[in-house]
Amino acid sequence: MTRQGSFKTRVLDIVREIPKGRTLSYKQVAELTGHPAAFRAVGNIMSKNHDPEIPCHRVVRSDGKPGGYNRGRQRKKFLLRKESVSGFE
């Protein structure tokens, strides 16, 4: 496995474990991989994710705003509200 592949796998594994109703920031995910400065890389991986088993809508910006989503920002907000994540009412 390439170094990039292992980083991507680790990101996806971390995001897969975010429970319903909870979020992590891109930076927190990067920190959990052991690469705290790689938050933009986390965002890039999330933007290309189309696996429904990976709840990438649960990864938000550090300032609490939803950030981007490959299925549209409004869809991301809808999914977060549906999971009762506060701040997205």
Which active-site residues does the annotation give?
56
Cβ of 44: how many Cβ atoms within 10 Å? 13
Helix (H) or strand (E) holding 4: helix 3-16
Burial class (CB in 10 A: 0-12, 13-18, 19+), 50: exposed
Helix (H) or strand (E) holding 59: strand 59-60
